[in-house]
Structure 1
Amino acid sequence: MIKTLASLALLVLFAATSFAADGEVPASIAKWQKDMDKFAKKDQQNPVKPGGVVFVGSSSIRMWDLDKSFPKLNGLNRGFGGSRLEDSVYYADKIILPYKPRTVVVYAGDNDVAAKYTPERIREDFQEFVSTIREELPSTKILYIAVKPSLSRWKMIKEVRETNKLIAQECAKTDNCEFIDIDAPMLGEDGKPRPELFKKDGLHMTDEGYAVWAKEIQPHLQD
Structure 2
Amino acid sequence: MISMFHALLRLAPLLLLVLAACATPPAAPPDASPQVPEQVSRLDWEQDMQRFAAEDAQAPPPAGAVLFIGSSSIRFWDTLAADFPGVATINRGFGGSEIRDSTWYADRIVVPYRPRLIVLYAGDNDLNSGRSPRQLLQDFRSFVQRVRRDLPAVRIAYIASKPSPSRAALLEVQRQANALIRAEAASQPDIDFIDVFTPMLDAHGQPREELFIEDRLHMNRAGYALWRGLIAPYLQPR
TM-score (norm 1): 0.87
One of 199, 205, 208 as aligned partner of 1:191 = 205
Counterpart residue number, 2:44:
31
Query: How far off is 1:119 after superposition?
Result: 0.6
Comparing 88-97 and 184-193, the one that deviates more: 184-193
Query: How far off is 1:28 after superposition?
Result: 3.0
Asked if the contact 2:161/2:174 (under 8 Å) is kept, the reply is yes
Asked if the contact 2:62/2:88 (under 8 Å) is kept, the reply is no
Q: Which amino acid aligns with 2:206?
A: K
- Tell me, which stretches of 5 or more residues in structure 2 are unaligned? 1-33
- Divergent runs of 4+, >2 A: 23-31
Counterpart residue number, 2:225:
211
One of 89, 112, 121 as aligned partner of 2:126 = 112
Counterpart residue number, 1:7:
none
Q: Secondary structure at the match of 1:104?
A: strand
In terms of Rg, which structure is larger?
A: 2
Counterpart residue number, 1:167:
181
Cα deviation, 1:39-67, whole Å, max 9, x if unaligned, reads: 00000000122111000000000000202
Query: How far off is 1:194 after superposition?
Result: 1.4
Asked if the contact 1:198/1:204 (under 8 Å) is kept, the reply is yes
Question: Pairwise mapping of residues 30-49 of structure 1 onto structure 2 (< 5 A)?
Answer: 30-49=43-62
CA distance in 2, matches of 1:49, 1:75: 8
CA distance in 2, matches of 1:218, 1:169: 22
CA distance in 2, matches of 1:140, 1:67: 21
CA distance in 2, matches of 1:124, 1:46: 35
CA distance in 2, matches of 1:71, 1:196: 26
Counterpart residue number, 2:113:
99
Q: Which amino acid aligns with 1:111?
A: N
CA distance in 2, matches of 1:200, 1:34: 27
Query: How far off is 1:185 after superposition?
Result: 1.0
Asked if the contact 1:69/1:210 (under 8 Å) is kept, the reply is no
Counterpart residue number, 1:157:
171
Q: Secondary structure at the match of 1:88?
A: helix
CA distance in 1, matches of 2:83, 2:201: 20
Q: Secondary structure at the match of 1:155?
A: helix
CA distance in 1, matches of 2:160, 2:149: 24
Q: Which amino acid aligns with 2:51?
A: K
Query: How far off is 1:24 after superposition?
Result: 4.5
Q: Does 1:73 align with 2:87?
A: yes
- Tell me, which stretches of 5 or more residues in structure 1 are unaligned? 1-22
Q: Which amino acid aligns with 2:155?
A: K
Cα deviation, 1:7-54, whole Å, max 9, x if unaligned, reads: xxxxxxxxxxxxxxxx95337333211110000000000012211100
Counterpart residue number, 1:123:
137
Q: Secondary structure at the match of 1:51?
A: coil
Q: Secondary structure at the match of 1:30?
A: coil
TM-score (norm 2): 0.82
How large is the Cα RMSD of the aligned pairs? 1.3
Q: Number of aligned pairs?
A: 201
Q: Does 1:182 align with 2:196?
A: yes
